[in-house]
Structure 1
Amino acid sequence: MTGGDADVGYKLICEEHGPNDLVEYAALADESAFDFAMISDHFHPWTSAQGESPLVWNVIGAIARATDDLPLGTAITCPTTRVHPAIVAQAAATSATMLPGRFFLGVGTGEKLNEHVVGARWPEHEVRLAKLEEAIEVIWTLWEGGAKSHHGEHFTVENARLYTLPDEPPEIPVAADGPKAARLAGEKGDGLVAVRPSEDLIDAFESAGGEGKPRYGELTVCYAEDEAVELAHEIWPIEGLPGELMWVLPTPAHFEQAVQSVTKEDIAESMVCGSDPDEHVAEIRSYVDAGFDHVAVHQVGPNQEGFVEFYEEAVLPVLEG
């Protein structure tokens, strides 16, 4: 573990980088001291300034050929609305076959930003959780092999069989931002994914059966020698938005309106900006102290090579000590 009590990973952000760059950065992470990688699954970027949003499954296929040892998981795929869970099961099974023993399928309830594009209604959170629970059941059923049918409250599968299956099915950690989703992750998932160092989420997860399962934390930083706050404010102002807006705004244009109220001071307070390794170490340790055993770091901006070098030289060795 590069982080002592936790594995430290590298977050590939499809909203910021094109497919070829993402493959290059995954290869860079594979050769680095990072322990694993996670990759986002979006239809839209949050704002137009981020500028990209390739289909994650194409990128994963290319990453499989460009890396040797890097464990990789989605963070987060929504298997309920934009894509039927049977198709997610097939995509993930193919990815796990191409990345044997090193792929996991992170799932969650999703955001309206990405899911409403097929014209489906965006229901309240309780319904989204129920759909996610049923989707996980569909995925696991198809991964068993053989012809399967499912006639549930939210999804129908008729006479479906996945012919390409990995030797071992991938794990399915579940994303949570509140106790109900954390309990679902503990009961039905193979792990927890969260974007804040919350002991309450860990407690809810473990109380529902999550003890001993991996706990993935994600954090956003902007490493730069100069003007890190300005860069983060330009590219990732959503870090300063309050909670519910992230799940219910429908388009990048709406997010661009919402972030008009986010100041540079808000960004400086909400994420680590700059090149002080102690600040980066402290933020990672806050997740470890809360109970996370995997921490994936998202570097805002184009300087991914410099970020990886900075972490290898100044951050990860301190965490190991």
Structure 2
Amino acid sequence: MNEKILLVQVLVGIFLYVNCVMIFTFFKKEAFHNNVRYIFFAHILFCDSLLLILTNILLLLSHYHILMLVRLCLCFYMLMSTLKFSTPLTLMAMSLERYVAICLPLRHAEISTPSKAIRCIPVIHALSSIQLIIISSIFIYSVPLSFYTTEKLCNVELIIVHKWQGNLRAAISQLYFLVMSSVIVFTYVKIMAAAKLASTDNKKSATKGLRTVALHGIQLLLCLIQLWCPFIETAIMETDYKLFRLLRYFNYIAFILAPRCLSPLVYGLRDEKFFMVLKYYALCGLKKKTSPASDDL
């Protein structure tokens, strides 16, 4: 195991530990279950953790050139494709929740309810599966049944059997990018306008909401750049395989690991109540006096 793979294992281990502690914190305190933001936040943590595990498995298999049955690789692809879009779509939903809270405060209690947030999660996964259904259907229709029992090096390119299929995947990804970016920009502009018109008491809340949406925008941008990575990697792979491997390693660090570490920053560490309870459980309850929020919740 070289230093690059070892670095990835350390980073993945740290992120998974932090995410698991945060998920445990969410389920441990019932007050978090009644807050839409925390429900969406827990959903992002769960999706990110599962995606990190799957991508790390494929990274190790690719590094050591371990082959996998095509049918098993297809299952990996289907699950990862859904999870890849789940995080940016959830970020979009969280930005809309902040927009409602700041720009439509009188209707916030009616619109943003825990039950509606839970019902929104299956909708998010359904929208995340649009590209998966189209690309997988083309793959299943195009290859013979005997192909599923062969062993191949599992990667995204294995599912792309036609050049136009790759172009279609690119078009769908760009459509996702356009819609989600438009929603983020819309909420940011509306919250910025509300912050300028807010009174002194509400200006602090509006400013905090503005920063939150801005962080969502950065995280969403990194997630959406990930959608373009396979197309760039495919072009490089045809000309220089060594450069392709270096580029894939960089993309994994910059556009898979980095966006996933921003989730704990946005809601896990910036939120005072959640951070106090998180600190309590991270220290295994050794410093109970440092967690007054745990009693309040």
TM-score normalized with structure 2 length: 0.28
- Structure (1/2) with the larger strand percentage: 1
Point out the structure with max Rg over C-alpha. 2
TM-score of the superposition, structure 1-length normalised? Answer: 0.27
